[in-house]
Amino acid sequence: MNTPADVEARAVVSAPPLDLARLGAWLEVHAEGFRGLRRAERFVGGNSNPIWRIEADSGRYILRTQPAGELLKSAHALDREARVLRALHGGPVPVPNLRVLCNDIDVVGVQFYLMDFVEGIVHRSVGLPDVPRERRGEVYAAAIDSLVAIHRTDLDALGLRDFGRPGNYFERQLHRWSQQYRTAMPEGSPVMDRLIARLDATLPHEDHPVTLLHGDSRIDNLMFDRGGERVIAVLDWELATLGHPLADLGQFLAVQDLPADYLLPGLRGVDRAAEGLPTQTQLAQRYFEAMGMDRATDMRFFKAFAMFRQAAMSAGLKRRAALGTAVAESALHFGNTMDVFAQTGLDILESQEPLA
């Protein structure tokens, strides 16, 4: 196809083809200030929605699209992500400026949005090997503070009070992700089934504050300034909703319990003191103090639940890989090692330490 610009991207499984002439014409009409699309380059990495760096006469942007092909129900909802970005922009939670959301699938074949490019650093590893040892604690402190800022947002002022369903958050989420897992992997997994049963038996039923949740709270979903210690953008809001704030904190802490040599490397067995990394207790205490919550809170359920949800997502990745609709080549690898997440969840529940 001849276009006024070229597309450079590694081979991926299910990124939609971009007709840059058509895309550029649409953006010039609908995205304020946009002009002269020259180039689109696919970012390699990630297993959710394809991301492209856009270069145009008017500047640099990020294009985020749904994957091509069949999608699980409620997955890849870019309209929800766009709503959160618009609500938060200009407030205490830093997010990129959203230019436009496109629901017309005739443009590139799927839903997409365009946002401004933010120049910064994303730390891909929880061990922060790219950060000097003496500054790693500051990076983690900034990450926790960004989570607090999300959870302290005024839902009414932002018009997000109806962004999630009422009722017990974990009960609904356990049901939803169990269904996703069983749809994606009808043959089942003994370790995953044991984890689901354990979580179901220990569901918290007490009243809890309802806050905005990021939904995938991890160090690599934060962009830091070039100094590496200040969060300048919170990224990837696809799973955002309303619910129990400790779901986000549990996610942030639980991924650190994964093996250091796993596909999503954790800190299991790592000497944190020697590496200049704060303990999970220190991270949790900073969060609890800022939120005015009980410093003795037992985090085992919340962390194990996060691992269950990661396992359910991995099952979905395996299904998409089998159907040829996965976004990245790593999807099958994560799907085939789903039990690593599930077993980590069980290990957390069986630990004698409330923050283990």
Query: Is position 1 within any domain?
Result: no
Backbone angles phi, psi at 163, to 5 degrees: -80, -15
Domain count, the chain: 2
Give the torsion sign (CA, 127, 237, 49, 100): negative
Q: How many CB atoms sit inside 10 A of residue 243's CB?
A: 24
Q: Are residues 88 and 233 located together in one domain of the fold? A: no
Looking at residue 328, its pLDDT comes to 54
Looking at residue 14, its pLDDT comes to 57
Q: Are residues 246 and 159 located together in one domain of the fold? A: yes
Looking at residue 69, its pLDDT comes to 57
Question: Which residue segment(s) compose the domain that 35 sits in?
Answer: 6-116
Query: Is position 355 within any domain?
Result: no
CATH number of the domain enclosing 41: 3.30.200.20
What are the residues whose beta carbons fall under 8 Å from the beta carbon of 177, sequence distance 6 or more?
308, 309, 312, 313
Q: What number of CA atoms fall less than 13 Å from residue 5's CA on the CB side?
A: 20
Calculate the dihedral angle through the C-alpha atoms of 214, 215, 220, 226, rounding to the nearest 10 degrees: 0
Q: Are residues 64 and 146 located together in one domain of the fold? A: no
Q: Are 287 and 148 within 8 A, CB to CB?
A: yes
The residue among 89, 116, 143 that closes a domain is: 116
Looking at residue 353, its pLDDT comes to 79
Q: Are residues 105 and 57 located together in one domain of the fold? A: yes
Looking at residue 239, its pLDDT comes to 92
Beta bridge partners of residue 55, listed in sequence order: 39, 60
Q: Are residues 35 and 68 located together in one domain of the fold? A: yes
The residue among 90, 116, 142 that closes a domain is: 116
Query: Is position 109 within any domain?
Result: yes
Q: Are residues 86 and 180 located together in one domain of the fold? A: no
Looking at residue 6, its pLDDT comes to 36
Rg (CA), the chain: 20
Looking at residue 264, its pLDDT comes to 86
Cα 200 to Cα 253: distance, rounded to the nearest angstrom:
21
Query: Is position 122 within any domain?
Result: no
Helix (H, G, I), strand (E, B) or coil at 150: helix
Q: What is the pLDDT along the chain (356 residues), one digit of tens a residue?
A: 333 333 333 334 456 778 999 999 999 999 999 999 999 998 865 556 889 999 999 999 999 998 875 555 555 579 999 999 999 999 999 999 999 999 998 999 899 999 999 999 999 999 999 999 999 999 999 999 999 999 999 999 999 999 998 778 999 999 999 999 999 889 999 999 999 999 999 999 888 889 999 999 999 999 999 877 899 999 999 999 999 999 999 999 999 999 998 888 999 999 999 999 999 999 999 999 999 998 889 999 999 999 999 999 888 877 766 655 545 556 556 667 889 999 999 999 999 877 74
Q: Are residues 199 and 57 located together in one domain of the fold? A: no
User: In whole angstroms, how far apart are CA 18 and each of 5, 14, 84, 100, 106?
Assistant: 11, 12, 26, 17, 11
The residue among 116, 151, 167 that closes a domain is: 116
